[in-house]
Amino acid sequence: MLNRNPLMKWRVYILLCADGSYYVGHTYDLESRVRDHNLGRAAVHTALRRPVVLVYSESAGSRLAASERERQIKRWSRAKKEALIGGNGQALRELSKRRGR
């Protein structure tokens, strides 16, 4: 079993890549994961778009919860991701409304 620090928790994160794109992921060790992205050892998307900057993260109660939240955010539009990153609850609510309603 891995020796995990009890103060660390599962995190969902968004990185801003050098080309302006966003990368969404989840991890148990955010600091190490961001370092790995910047070293080109984490994901092909970020390896080709370095350097990356952490622009958002949130806690998740479990690995499953983190994975599900990551998949949810990945489906969002750029505008909706930016509202989340900026903490703009009003814009996030507006962008969350289904089209045609």
Measured CA to CA, the distance from residue 73 to residue 1 in angstroms comes to 30
| Class for the domain spanning 10-96 | alpha beta
Provide the whole-model pTM: 0.89
Average pLDDT of adjacent 10-residue blocks, the chain of 101 residues: 62 98 98 98 96 98 97 97 97 82 52
In order, the DSSP letters of 33-94 are: HHHHHHTT-S-HHHHTS-SEEEEEEEEESSHHHHHHHHHHHHTS-HHHHHHHHHT-HHHHHH
Domain boundaries, the chain: 10-96
Output the pLDDT for position 97. 87
Output the pLDDT for position 1. 39
Side-chain half-sphere of 26: how many Cα atoms within 13 Å? 21
